[in-house]
Each structure stands twice: as C-alpha cells, then as structure tokens.
Amino acid sequence: MNVSIELEARDDVPAWLAYGTPVFTVVGALALAAVALVALSVNPIAAYGTMFVETLTDPFGLRQTATRTVPLVLTGLAVYLPLRAGLWNVGAEGQLYMGAVAGTWIGLNVSLPMAALIPLALLGAGVAGGIWAGIPGYLRAKWGVNEIITTLLLTFVATQIASYLVRGPMQGGMGNFPGSALLPVAAQYPTLPVLEVHAGFLVGLLAVAATAVLVARTRVGFEVTVVGSNPLAAAQAGMSTTRVYLFVFLVGGAFAGLAGFNEIAGVQERLRPEFSSGYGFTAIPIALLGRNGAVRVLLAAAFFALLFVGGSKLEVAYGVPAALTDVIQALVILCLITAEFFKRYSVALELDRGDEPASVEGEPGGAA
C-alpha cells in the first residue's frame, strides 16, 4: 500500500479561492521579502508601513506614484499585447531606450512649437520602439526564431547604443558628463493642472484606452486573441499568424518607445545612460498580473509604481537597497503561479490500495 498525492483538475474554482488569490499573492510576496529585510536587521512591519502607508497618505507620494505609473503602464502594454498573441516581449527596456533616443533627438534638433514638437517626438519614439521590437517580431514570424532570447539580447544592444550616443554624438551641455543637452521647453511636458503630474500621464491613459478598444472591439484585436489562444484554429480560419505576430510587436514596441520619450520629456529633461530603473523588466510581471485586460495592466502598473516609490522611501529612511522592489516583483509572480496551481487542481492525499490491474500507476513517490 502506497501513499500518493492525487491531483484532480477542478471543474470550477470556489469563490474563496478566486478572490483569495490576489490577496495570497501580495501577502505571500511581502512575507517572503520580509526575510530579506530581517537579514539587514530592518523591522519589516515598520518598513512596509513606510513603503505603503506613508506613500499613500502623502500627496507628494501619490503624485510620484502617478508619475511612475506612466512608463510602467506603457511598457506593461508593450508586453501585454504580444502576450495576448502568445508571444513574449522581454525586451521592452531596450525598446524604451530606443524611443528615448529618437524622441530626444527630435526634441533637440527640430524647432517647432510645443503643440507640434511633442507629437512629432512621440511619433519618432513610437517608430523607433516599434522597429526595435519589430526585428524580433519579424524573425519570429518568418523563421520561428525564439523571441524571448532576441528581445532580451536587443535590450543590451539598445542600452549600449544609448550609452555610446550620450558620450559621443549626442553628448552636450554637461561638461564631460555623459548625457544629452537639456530638452528645450517646447519639447518638455507641461504639468497638468489639479493632478500636478506631467502631461505624459495622459499619453499613458490614452494608450490603455486604445489597447482596450483594440483588443475588445476590432477585427485585428480579435485575431490577436484567437492566434494567442489557438494558433492552429486561427490558421484554419484563414488568419495570418505572421501578420499578427508582426503587428503585436510593432504596436507593443511603439508603446515602449513612447514610455522612453515620456520619461525624458516628463521627468529626466535630458537623455542619460541608464536613466530607466528597469521599467521594461518590471513590465513583465505587470503584464502577467494584468493579462486579462488593459485596465488591469493599468492597475498592476499603479501597484508596481507604488512599490518603486515606497522602495526609494525605504532606501532613504532605512538604507535598504531599492533592489528590494525587484525582489518583491519577482516574488509576486512566483506566488501568483503557485496560487494558480491550486486554482487548477485540488490536491488530496490518497491511499493507493493497489487494486488497479498491472500498471505503473501508484509507484512510490510518483508525484515527487
């Protein structure tokens, strides 16, 4: 007689589990990350108080969170859209850099009034980001080259190119320090009234709305979803996976490119090497949390923006490295996929009486 663990696929998910998953995911991640805080002799409860309560009860903290949400939601959409089609864009960070380079270049070299210059710079940033993601998209669509590896590797290429440019051809205005000249006022976002965040916030919201409409209401959005859920059926229905793959990468990359210029025009004011705090990588957990809709991507982006802002608060207050945010991000998703297992299967310990006919079922430790 053997004891074995039986997994049974659930037909439907009990309500407590469906609603409990997000709670378990966040609480579990924070509990695990508390170990890292304790390791540096920081009281986790006090630290999380600083991170979340102080940030959310302070108007400045809220504004910072809103500002940080912008690049996160845009790069989040850059991952979300390919994910709808079943593809991985893990290189939004590189697309963001290419967008920042192109947008900054336009902002510095074209003289137009603000109402024309910012849209032009955004267009340039979107095209640059779109091309940067379009390369892996094309390679995937045409030859089936693994897009995870290519998008990621092109990120390293993009950051090196940006780094070369701000030390060479685009260097300006800061002595010998790496960095471009300051953007002219006409290329910098004005601050929105009342909200007091830069106007790039609207670009983020528009992108969410556009993506939501695209996915839910348009033919191409429908094709993206079908290709993502069942490429074979899509092909039989006469849909071109090649076109869909290219489309999601071009549009996704364009969103990441917008994020790059937004960050320069709204926050940084000049292009610097390594100006992004890894937004394009945080975009991956954001898209995973929000994979059921663009509005959820926005919510996830706001949550991670809060983590970023709280993380820097923590760094100032307790000297805790801001990389704690990266740790929490990864743990959130690791907890999420753990929780999803329990949504899919019910687990029971069973005594196997060996009454099955001669078969390999019921080997000791079969389910490891």
Partner 1 sequence: MAGFAAGLLDAAVRASTVFVFAALGEIISERGGVLNLGVEGMMLVGALSGFATTVVTGNYWLGFLVGMAAGAALALIHAFLCITLKSSQVISGVMLTLLGTGLTTYFGGAWVDRSIDGFPQMTLPVVGEYLVELPVIGEAVFRSTAPDFIALALVPVVWWFLFRTNVGLEIISVGEDPETADTMGVDVFKIRYLCVLLGGAFAGAAGAHLSLSFSQLWATGMVAGRGWIAVALVIFAQWRPERALVGAYLFGLLDALQLRSQSIDLALDAGAPLAGVVNPALDFLMHPTIMATYPYLATILVLVVTVARFDDSRLGAPSALLEPYSRETD
Q: Which residues bind partner 1 (CB under 8 A)?
A: 6-8, 36, 39, 88, 90, 139, 143-146, 148-150, 152-154, 156-157, 160-161, 163-164, 167-168, 281, 284-285, 288, 321, 323-327, 329-331, 333-334, 337-338, 340-341, 344, 360-361, 363, 365-368
CB nearer to partner 1: give 21 or 150.
Answer: 150
DSSP 176: B
Cα-flanking dihedrals φ and ψ of residue 346, to 5°?
Answer: -100, 140
Q: Kindly state the helix (H) or strand (E) to which residue 126 belongs, with its residue range.
A: helix 114-143
CB nearer to partner 1: give 205 or 242.
Answer: 242
In the complex, minimum distance from the CB of residue 74 to partner 1, in angstroms, rounded to a whole number = 19
DSSP 42: -
CB nearer to partner 1: give 164 or 222.
Answer: 164
CB nearer to partner 1: give 97 or 189.
Answer: 97
Assigned token pair, 123: 């267009």
In the complex, minimum distance from the CB of residue 300 to partner 1, in angstroms, rounded to a whole number = 14
Assigned token pair, 327: 């740790």
Q: Kindly state the helix (H) or strand (E) to which residue 180 belongs, with its residue range.
A: none
In the complex, minimum distance from the CB of residue 262 to partner 1, in angstroms, rounded to a whole number = 23
Which candidate, 74, 65, 75, places its Cα nearest to that of 304?
65
Which candidate, 364, 354, 335, places its Cα nearest to that of 30?
335
CB nearer to partner 1: give 161 or 202.
Answer: 161
Helix, strand, or coil here: 87? coil
In the complex, minimum distance from the CB of residue 69 to partner 1, in angstroms, rounded to a whole number = 20
In the complex, minimum distance from the CB of residue 331 to partner 1, in angstroms, rounded to a whole number = 7
Sign of CA dihedral 35, 38, 42, 46: positive
